[in-house]
Amino acid sequence: MVATVIAGEVKRDGATIGERALRGVGGLTQSGIGEADVVAVMLRNEASFLEAMLIARTAGCYSCPINWHYKADEAGYILRDCGAKALIIHADLLRQIDGGVPDGCRVIVVEPTEAAVARPSLPDVFEIVATLVVRELHVTDAVRSCVELSL
């Protein structure tokens, strides 16, 4: 496991990262995503990116990073081409991929670290994705649902 990850203001030791990854794996498993499925990751370069990649690997999934600058057509092409069953994405990037998320791809929304720091009343990054609740997102018509994860 990783000794310590420092990304901006976020500092996590290997044990903490491992625990958070296992909670995320539990959430993926409960939402029907597992071994040999593809989990796309569209996050900025911060601690949550590392955790998302570790979650996918630990769950036996293939991970497919997507550049967070991509728009709907670029991200949509990658999501369809790799057959992603899930997309882990920062909340503020949802609007730029409007129309790009294919049917059947679960959208897992993660609050960016900067937003969590700016609004201290919000829980920590993967704790924001809590209790495996499926709900409709009304951010855009293209994003059909969001699975919130954490155990």
CATH number at residue 99: 3.40.50.12780
Q: What is the pLDDT of residue 149?
A: 40
Query: pTM (2 decimals)?
Result: 0.75
How many domains are there within the chain?
Answer: 1
The CA distance from 77 to 124, in Å, is 31
pLDDT tens track for 68-84: 999 999 999 999 999 99
Segments forming the whole domain that contains residue 11: 4-148
Q: Which residues face 114 on adjacent strands?
A: none
